[in-house]
Amino acid sequence: MKKLFGIIFLLCAIFAGAQDQSSEFNRKIRAESEKSAIDEENAKSDEKNLSDSEESLQSELDQDLIVTKINFIGLKKTRDSYIQSKVKKFTGNSLAETDMHDLETAIQLEGLFDDIKISVAQASDTEAEINVSVKEKITFIPLPFAMASSSGYMAGGVVMDTNAFGRKDMFMVGGFFSNSGFTGMASFSKPAKDHGIPGFSIFASGGKSTSEFVNLEEDTILKYKSLGFSAGFSLTEKIGEHFSFSNGFNFKYLSTEEHDDYPGMKPESIIAGETSLSFGYSKSDWNGVFMSTNSAAVSAEFGLTDMEDDDYRYPIGLSFSIGEQHPLFIDRLRMYQKISGFYGKHNHISSFKGQGAASVNILPGSFHTEIIIGGNAGFELAVAKFSWATMSLYGDYQLVYTKKNTLVDDDEYEFMHGPNGGMRFYLAKVAFPALALGLSYNVTKSYWQFAAAMGMSF
């Protein structure tokens, strides 16, 4: 029994010693861990202090460096002097004050370049240069087209250059013919420069055609033949960075004939001169996917005609538009909305406006009126990016209020609404805004409308 107690006492002593050693070991481990954590925290603190110090030094350096030059690499057709005039406001400032995002937006806004890359190089102790690498888009564009349906055929094409002479001048010439007539057209425009030099545009068109007008139920109410010619000239002046003012002068000659299906019904032939005054605002922002633009414009038109009826001797027209676009949650998603309208008085039917004047496409394409207002609001999502284009899906809801009868002077109006959606392709290699395919439904009138658009503006 004494031996047993001795063994137990010995085991307890060994166990107690082991516990003391284990506790000591754990204390050493904890001490080493705490020391390691402190060393690591100190190292992070030193690294952060070093990083903050480097950033502070870099910030001080950026404050001292003045951007003296912006170099463009990759220009082929575009003149360096032209693109330099668009970015000159970014020179003369310190590097810290230069917003590279705004610089990229300004370059993207020209619509001439793809794959824009921006870098900075220190040129001296006090100077910095910005290097911009670009790939030019194709700007000389032939656009042939042809179509046929049960109602007839149409074929033709245009040739255009959106960067003529390397200064973003634009010319277009072309025409088309169909079973109902032919049309030819030509235009040239030069953008306004920032330093008080106005831009200008000239155009001319003429041909023989058959015009058709429908009511809101899509029933044809008038069809007539005509031989016509029109020409115009306008001047545009930039006011600061975002505002512009333009003054236009147009001439129109239209000789009308009866259509076999509508004998005894044709509008009066007309010779008219018109002047227009327009004021606009536009501000854009590029987020790497979409060019979102906020805009507003108002326009007034005053005319003089040779019509026998004094009520139509002095036509007038007033129009406006307000549009807003902005990214929503992510860069690939944006929200947009637009409202616009037209009010005319004593206008010849050839000067009536279609659904585009109300920012909608839920009305028949051949419906025209003298008074209309409407708008849309919706979302657009970029779903795929290819080497040649970015594809997006869009959907919006549209509202429109319009004068109903295009042929008589009455006060009947109608309100309509409906959804609209489709896909757009923003071209990357060609200096052409976009292509779109869409489908809309007029809930009020219960009919569908299909639309295809090229080079549209939102």
DSSP string, 68-89: EEEEEES-SSS-HHHHHHHHGG
What is the DSSP code (8-state) at residue 430? Answer: B
- pLDDT the model gives residue 283: 96
Higher pLDDT, 236 or 410: 236
Q: Is residue 376 within 8 Å of residue 356, measured between CB atoms?
A: no
Phi, psi of 359 (to 5 degrees): 60, 35
Q: Specify the pLDDT at position 15.
A: 38
11 pLDDT exceeds 60?
Answer: no
CA dist., res. 458 & res. 256, Å (int): 34
**Residue range 42-53: mean pLDDT, rounded:** 49
Three-state DSSP class for 292? strand
Check residue 418 and give left, alpha or beta (phi > 0: left; psi -120 to 50: alpha): left
The predicted-structure confidence for 81-129, as pLDDT tens digits, reads as follows 999 999 999 999 899 889 999 999 999 999 999 889 999 999 988 999 9
The per-residue pLDDT for range 138-172, each reduced to its tens digit, is 999 998 988 876 667 889 999 999 999 999 999 99
- Whether the CA torsion 113, 119, 124, 128 is positive or negative: it is positive
Cβ burial, residue 391 (10 Å; 0-12/13-18/19+): middle
Q: Which residue has the higher pLDDT, 49 or 351?
A: 351
Looking at residues 70-87, what average pLDDT do you find? 95
Q: 411: helix, coil or strand?
A: coil
| DSSP track, 150-211 | TTEEEEEEEEEEEEETTTTEEEEEEEEEETTEEEEEEEEEEPPPTTS--EEEEEEEEEEEEE
Going by pLDDT thresholds of 50, 70 and 90, the confidence category of residue 179 is: confident
Q: Assess contact for 375 and 338: CB atoms under 8 A.
A: yes
Q: Exposure string (b/e) for 157-189, b if CB count within 10 Å is 16 or more?
A: ebebbbbbebbbbbbbebebbbebbebebbbbb
C-beta of residue 114 within 8 angstroms of C-beta of residue 106: no
> Average model confidence (pLDDT) for the chain?
86
Q: Are 340 and 359 in contact (CB under 8 A)?
A: yes
Reported pTM: 0.83
Q: How many residues does the chain have?
A: 458
Q: Which two tokens stand for residue 389?
A: 């284009």
The per-type count for the chain, helices as H runs and strands as E runs, is 3, 19
**Which secondary-structure segment (H or E) carries 214?**
strand 199-214
Please list the alpha-helical segments (H only) found in 111-204. Answer: none
What was the pLDDT predicted at 145? Answer: 83
For residue 327, pLDDT beyond 80? yes
